[in-house]
Structure 1
Amino acid sequence: MFQYGYWEIVLINSLIFIIFAFSFVRPKNATDWRVFGTFSAFIIALFTEMYGFPLTIYLLSGWLSKKFPELNIFAHDSGHLWYDILGLSGDPHTSSIHIASVLLINGGLLFLAITWIFLYRAQRKGVVAIAGPYAWVRHPQYIAFIVIMFGFLLQWPTLLTIIMFPILVTMYIRLAKIEESESIKFFREEYLAYADNTGRFFPRIENLRKKFTSHS
Structure 2
Amino acid sequence: MTTESGYGLWSLVILNSVFFIFFAFSFTKPKTALDWRSLGAFSAFIVALFTEMYGIPLTIYFLSPWLTKLYPNVDFLAHENGHLLHTLLGFSGDPHFDPLHLLSTGLLVFGFYVLSSAWSVLHKAQKKGELAQTGWYAKCRHPQYLAFIIIMFGFLLQWPTLPTLLMFPVLIWVYVRLAKTEEKLAIDAFGDAYVSYQQRVPAWIPSWRGNHDIAQHQ
TM-score (norm 2): 0.90
**1:197 Cα deviation (Å)?**
0.4
Q: Is the 8 A contact 2:134 2:211 kept in 1?
A: no
Secondary structure, aligned partner of 1:60: helix
Structure 1 vs Structure 2 CA RMSD = 1.9
Identity %: 50
1:164-214: per-residue Cα shift (whole Å, max 9, x none)? 000000010111111000000010011111111000001358x56966xx9
1:127-151: per-residue Cα shift (whole Å, max 9, x none)? 1101101111101111100000000
1:130 aligns with 133
Secondary structure, aligned partner of 2:202: coil
1:174 aligns with 177
**1:27 Cα deviation (Å)?**
4.9
Aligned counterparts of 2:131 and 2:49: Cα–Cα separation in 1: 35
**Match for 2:56 among 38, 48, 53?**
53
Would you say how many aligned residue pairs link Structure 1 and Structure 2?
210
**Match for 1:74 among 68, 73, 77?**
77
Secondary structure, aligned partner of 2:5: coil
Secondary structure, aligned partner of 1:127: coil
1:41-90: per-residue Cα shift (whole Å, max 9, x none)? 11011001111111111111111000111111100011111111112111
User: Gaps (5+ residues) in structure 1?
Assistant: none
Any residues of structure 2 matched to 1:37-186 within 5 Å, and which?
37-186=40-189
Aligned counterparts of 1:123 and 1:32: Cα–Cα separation in 2: 14
Distance 1:175 1:25, change over 3 A: farther
Aligned partner of 1:41: which letter? A
